[in-house]
Amino acid sequence: MLQADERRLAEWEARAEWPLTGLAVVFLVAYAWQVLDDGATPGVRTGLEIALWVVWLVFAVDYVVRLKLAVDKRKFVVRHLFDLLAVVLPVVRQLRVLRLVTVLNVLNKRLAGRIRQRVGIYVAGVTLMVGLCASLAVLDAERHQENATITTFGDALWWTLTTISTVGYGDRYPVSWEGRMVAGLLMVGGIALLGVITGTIASWLVEKLSGVEQQLERADEALLTEVRSLRAELAEMRAELNAGSTEHA
């Protein structure tokens, strides 16, 4: 019964991964449009807002279904804590970008093993996604605040670059609590991203070294087999020579 229930959960997740990824991409486009087009008409803004909340609803339903299918619900919550945050925290407008964690999860599951040898591409893609999301979120939070230092998308990109790289020039900084929350998450995300990079490189190196070790072991085995074969041939030749010497005598 336990295995059957876990299989149902795995089947649901497999079916839902790519549809949720598509919705996350739709969300990114809608949210970027909403943030960057500050002068959009009320009709356009209403349409974008509806699209964003529809995506949130689908994500929430998916999480509830998976929680219901999970046998060990406590373990499921702990293992999918980021998914829970992506559903709960986006009630704060600027944290809606957490829904894009679905895209990162799918990319990690589908591509990490395939492009481990091309670590640079994988890391660049994840960094670009995190940086874009953080820039949109902090601009959304800060643009209309009093004494704001982040008022354009360029300012937001620069702030994201200095924050995620831990340089922190201090010329651009959030003044609202929403913006500071985004900053905190970006700092944690930057540390986590560094851990992922380190782990991916270490895993790749271990895999390469293991492959070299296996090749050396196979080479040693082949060499040992060849030596044994030569010894057998020499023994046969020696026996033939001894037999010839005996007959001659």
| pLDDT of 50 | 93
The residue written with tokens 């020499």 in the block is: 234
Going from the C-alpha of 30 to that of each of 46, 128, 211, 246, the distances in angstroms are: 11, 18, 46, 97
Between CA 83 and CA 197, with CA 133 as vertex, the angle to 5 degrees is: 75
pLDDT tens digit sequence for 120-142: 666 677 778 888 888 998 999 89
Q: Let me know: does 30 contact 1? Beta carbons within 8 Å.
A: no
Residue whose structure tokens are 């354009």: 152
The helix (H) or strand (E) run that includes residue 124 is helix 119-142
Count of residues making up the chain? 249
Among residues 129, 128, 147, 148, the alpha carbon closest in space to that of 138 is found at 148
Predicted pLDDT at 1 = 47
The predicted-structure confidence for 101-124, as pLDDT tens digits, reads as follows 656 665 565 555 555 556 666 667
Burial class from Cβ neighbours inside 10 Å (0-12, 13-18, 19+) for residue 100 reads buried
Question: pLDDT under 50 in the chain at which residues?
Answer: 1-2
Supply the pLDDT for residue 5.
58
**85 touches 71 (CB < 8 A):** no
The residue written with tokens 């992506």 in the block is: 86
pTM of the predicted structure, to 2 decimals: 0.68
Q: How many Å from the N-terminal Cα to the C-terminal Cα in the chain?
A: 83
Number of C-beta neighbours around residue 155 at 10 A: 19
